[in-house]
Amino acid sequence: MAEDLQHPDEADTQLLATLRSVVQRVDPVPAEVEEAARASYTWRTVDAELAELSYDSLLDDDRLAGVRGDGTARTLTFEGSAFSVEVEVSEDGDGRRLLGQIVPPSAATIEIRHSGGVLRVGADEVGRFSAGGVAAGPMSLRCQVEGADGPTLDTTWTTV
Amino acid sequence: MSPAEDGLLVRAAAEGDKAAWDALVKRFSGLVWSIARSHRLGPADAADVSQTAWLRLVENLGRIRDPDRVGAWLATTSRNECLRIIRRSGRQVPTDLDADADLEAEDALAVPVDAGLLAGERDAELWRAFSAISERCQGLLRLLITDPPPSYEEVGALLDMPVGSIGPTRARCLDHLRRKAGITGAAGGSQ
């Protein structure tokens, strides 16, 4: 590569051009990643309330836990207007186990959407639910409190 | 593609237009992937970042405050997921532009280099060197080499950098790259 000592900008431009062709050859976006991105559109909903992640122990600097291998579960809290969902995530082989709580406590149906598919579990009368075999990766819970027209929320997609 | 066009795509996708959604993916999937990889995430973790970022866009299509800036929204969302995944694995969170990796390119980013893929040892050396510069430099350079290249204004928005600092930082990062690759620099190197 001829470096042009008179014009550093020229050399920079050339280096960038070389870098571009190298990166495009070696590390393009994998086809399946782009396909998965397109396919995400099927999760589009217009009606359910979105519950944001109000707490993630992984980002809580005051906690020393939540790091893989130390045996402590990660906790997530999703806040909706009518209720909140707290979830403890622990490792379950290559996947994840969830231990959840509806707050305030209430029976509910829970749909766990994850990269392995969809799991349906029930939360008992004090709002507790659990599920194993959740794939590591993006996860969202659709929770509907029991009863006629029980409020529903979708938790924001989070990588577990 | 202008920000106004990006905004139109977001609004259309929010209304149920799948083709608009596919156009957004085509436009920004390289950006999301670059951000994940420049955080030294392996292909599986980078795929997780990408999937979560796009899913979060789907759930927020109707509520993004500034649809014209969806690129910056995706970049920020991707960066946040990268930090989560890094913490999840117990790695240190990267900080500083000037903190060159000074470590062997980790397995994660050391893409098995197929000798047939790279035109010669020079390119292989460049890829190894690139994998070893700081995350911030990788992020900036990967952004500058995307096709079509973003304007400095867009880069500033995407990376949360003052526009005026992009030129000098670009030069400094390229000098780091040259040093790592053993390329004799132009005009003595550092700014």
**8 Å CB contact of A50 and B59:** yes
ipTM reported for the complex, 2 dp: 0.83
Q: Assess B43–A contact: CB distance below 8 Å, yes or no.
A: yes
Residues A30 and A78 in one domain: no
Identify whether the C-beta of residue B25 lies closer than 8 Å to the C-beta of residue A37: yes
SS3 A122: strand
Interface of A with B in 17-36 (CB under 8 A): 18-30, 32-34, 36
Residues of B in contact with A73 (CB under 8 A): none
Six-digit token pair at B30? Answer: 């390289």
Mean pLDDT of B79-107: 65
Helices within A27-151 (DSSP H only): 31-39
Residue A3 lies in a domain: no
Whether the CB of B183 is below 8 Å from some CB of chain A: the reply is: yes
Structure-token match 């027209």, residue found: A149
Measured between CB atoms, does B84 come within 8 Å of chain A? Answer: yes
Which chain B residues touch A115 with a CB distance below 8 Å? 51
How far B74 CA lies from chain A's nearest CA (Å)?
12
Q: What pLDDT is attached to residue B124?
A: 82
CA B35 – CA B46 distance, rounded (Å): 9
Say if residue A136 is in the same domain as residue A111. yes
How far apart, in whole angstroms, are the C-alpha atoms of residue A3 and residue B181? 14
Nearest CB partner across the interface for A138, out of B51, B87, B141: B51
Residues A32 and A60 in one domain: no
Neighbours of B182 (CB within 10 A): 9
**CA separation for the pair B138, B105 (Å, rounded):** 13
Please tell me whether residues A87 and A142 are part of one structural domain.
yes
Crossing angle (nearest 10°) for helices B70-88 and B43-60 = 130
Q: What is the mean pLDDT of residues B32-52?
A: 92
Give me the domain span that covers residue A135. Answer: 49-159
Task: Go through A87-117 and write b for each residue having 16 or more CB atoms within 10 A of its CB, e for each that does not.
Answer: bbbeeeeebbbbbbbbeeebbbbbebbbbee
Could you tell me whether strands A152-155 and A49-56 are parallel, antiparallel, or unpaired per DSSP bridges? parallel
Tell me which chain B residues have a C-beta less than 8 angstroms from the C-beta of A55.
Answer: none
Same domain, A27 and A81: no
Cα(A143)–Cα(B81) distance, integer angstroms: 23
User: H/E element holding A133?
Assistant: strand A128-134
Residues in A closer than 8 angstroms to B88, CB to CB, are 58, 66-68, 74, 159
**pLDDT band at residue B22 under the 50/70/90 scheme:** very high
Q: Residues A20, A56: one domain?
A: no
Q: Which of A1, A24, A115 comes nearest B183 by C-beta?
A: A1
pLDDT attached to residue B1: 66
Euclidean distance between CA atoms A78 and A119, whole angstroms:
19
Higher pLDDT, residue B118 or B56 = B56
Q: How confident is the model at residue B146 (pLDDT cuts 50, 70, 90)?
A: confident
Please judge whether B178 and A16 are an interchain contact, meaning their C-beta atoms are less than 8 angstroms apart: no
Is B85 in CB contact (< 8 Å) with chain A?
A: yes
Nearest chain A CA: its distance from B33 CA (Å): 6
Interface test with A, best of B59, B180, B191 (most A CBs within 10 A): B59
Residues in B closer than 8 angstroms to A152, CB to CB, are none
What is the residue-averaged pLDDT of chain B?
Answer: 82
Regarding whether A23 and A101 lie in a shared domain, the answer is no
> B172 Cβ partners below 8 Å, 6+ apart?
B97, B137, B190, B191
Q: Is the pLDDT of residue B116 over 70?
A: no
Domain ranges within chain B, ordered by starting residue: 1-93, 94-191
CATH assignment of B94-191, among 3.40.50, 1.10.10, 1.10.3470, 2.60.11: 1.10.10
Confidence of residue B9 (pLDDT cuts 50, 70, 90): very high
The pLDDT of residue A67 is 47
Are the beta carbons of A131 and A121 closer than 8 angstroms?
yes
- Top-confidence residue, B154 or A57: A57
Q: Is the pLDDT of residue B180 over 60?
A: yes
Any domain includes A1: no
Cβ partners under 8 Å of residue A70, min gap 6? A64
Question: Do A77 and A19 have their domain in common?
Answer: no
Q: Residue B100 pLDDT more than 60?
A: no
What pTM value is reported for the model? Answer: 0.82
Domain of A53, CATH number, reads 2.60.40
Residue A2 domain flag: no
* pLDDT of amino acid A71: 57
Of B33, B49, B144, the CB nearest to A16: B144
**B171, B191 in Cβ contact below 8 A?**
yes
Q: Which residues of A28-39 are buried (b: 16+ CB within 10 A; e: fewer)?
A: ebeeebbebbbe
E strand or H helix that includes residue A155: strand A152-155
Chunk chain A into consecutive blocks of 10 residues (it has 160) and report each block's average pLDDT, rounded to whole numbers.
60 92 90 97 88 91 54 89 96 94 96 95 97 95 91 95
Q: For chain B, first and last CA: distance in Å?
A: 33
How far apart (Å, rounded) are the C-alpha atoms in residues B107 and B120? 21
Report if residue A44 sits inside a domain: no
Does A61 touch chain B if contact means CB atoms closer than 8 Å? no
On chain A, the residues whose CB falls within 8 A of the CB of B186 are 3-5, 7-8, 10-12
Do residue A79 and residue A113 come from a single domain? yes
Strands A84-92 and A74-79, bridge-based pairing? antiparallel
- Regarding whether A135 and A116 lie in a shared domain, the answer is yes
- The Cβ of residue B20 has, within 10 Å, a number of other Cβ atoms equal to 18
Asked if A56 has any chain B CB less than 8 Å from its own CB, the reply is yes
Write down the CATH number for the domain with range B1-93: 1.10.1740.10
Total tally of structural domains belonging to chain A: 2
User: What pLDDT is recorded for position B91?
Assistant: 72
Same domain flag for A86 and A112: yes
A32 & A71 share domain: no
The rounded distance, in Å, linking the Cα atoms of A66 and A89 is 9
Looking at the DSSP assignment, which residues form a beta bridge with residue A140? A113
A95 DSSP β-pair partners: A92
Mean pLDDT of B32-43: 89
The neighbour count for residue B80, using CB atoms within 10 Å, is 15
| Residue B119 pLDDT > 80 | no
Cβ contact B126–A22 (<8 Å): yes
